[in-house]
Amino acid sequence: MQKRKLGNSGLEVSALGLGCMGMSFSYGPAKDKREMTTLIRAAVERGITFFDTAEVYGPFSNEELVGEALAPFRKQVVIATKFGFDLSGSDNRPGAAGLNSRPEHIKQAAEGSLKRLKVETIDLLYQHRVDPNVPIEDVAGAVKDLIQEGKVKHFGLSEAGVQTIRRAHAVQPVTALQSEYSLWTRTPEKEVIPTLEELGIGLVPYSPLGKGFLTGKMDENAKFDSSDFRSTLPRFTPEALKANQALIHLLAGIGERKKATPAQIALAWLLAQKPWIVPIPGTTKLHRLDENIGAVSVELTPNDLRDIENAASKITVQGARYPERLEKMTGR
């Protein structure tokens, strides 16, 4: 497995990480813990060293799963987790209880994550969403304290806007920004990616396969259980799924040329954008894990990239990526 460094931080991880959220949360009922432990360990055996979780996934159960599964490999892996949701209420869906990035809450959240992950230090700690009620300098300062105490190694932000990134970075250098980025969500390209390049910050795209859409396995007849987060997303209505098939035809066409699947082309395209981009596709299936890892050896030439760009520029993606309430939490 190839390695990449997240910006100028020196944090080296596998070129592809593993997003673990869907194992416990968001995509239908939680999966079998033993099976998911086996999958996480299979990822380590295949050279993946970067694993992503958050306290809100479950809540808490995903960190416990990841901590337990990776305990035997602690020295060879990097675990990223996140704080920033208020989980004190009874409704623990992300955002339902609102945000909380007050410094005392961050420190409390970090203590909980350390225990559940069974680690002495959190490798990478992200603010999950920017909290408009807490100055970002206070957030960065709280994480800086945790770094000085040896409880955290690296500071990250998720879905933050450019001004927030700059202000946070001035207090405590930001190692990585985690944001949605893929061929059907290209928002970071305009302002965020140039800013990350300038400041030497890595980019960790989540949902790099468009929450499963870019695998080419979904059409307008796809059905989502009410426990599946996608059932609430405008981009997963039958109309949008039908309209957005044009992207799948594009990926499949390039895939034929390269003897690769649409998913592999989608990931290879992301990897080709910048050397400091590390996508974290999630999966609960071993054959999908292997397929995703295969993307690392797909070489897209400048011509291939130009063809993808030309074709993609003629496609307008239909449907908002989040309902308005959740969209408001991004880009702050």
pLDDT at site 96: 60
Domain ranges, ordered by start, for the chain:
3-327
Domain 3-327 has CATH 3.20.20.100: yes
Closest CA relative to residue 214, chosen from 225, 205, 226, 204: 205
pTM above 0.95, yes or no: yes
Concerning whether 57 is annotated as a catalytic residue, the answer is yes
72 burial type by CB count under 10 A (0-12 exposed, 13-18 middle, 19+ buried): exposed
What values do phi and psi take at 76, rounded to 5? Answer: -105, 5
3-state SS class at 115: helix
pLDDT at site 88: 79
For CA atoms 309, 314, 319, 325, give the dihedral sign. Answer: positive
3-state SS class at 237: coil
* Tens of pLDDT, residue by residue, the chain (332 residues): 999 999 999 999 999 999 999 999 999 899 999 999 999 999 999 999 999 999 999 999 999 999 999 999 999 999 999 999 998 765 555 556 689 999 999 999 999 999 999 999 999 999 999 999 999 999 999 999 999 999 999 999 999 999 999 999 999 999 999 999 999 999 999 999 999 999 999 999 999 999 999 999 999 999 999 999 999 999 999 999 999 999 999 999 999 999 999 999 999 999 999 999 999 999 999 999 999 999 999 999 999 999 999 999 999 999 999 999 999 999 99
CA atoms of 59 and 163, how far apart (whole Å): 30
pLDDT at site 178: 98
Q: Which of 27, 57, 206, 322 is catalytic?
A: 57
Encode 209-222: b = buried (16+ Cβ within 10 Å), e = exposed: bbbbbbbbebeeee
Cβ(270)–Cβ(298) below 8 Å: no
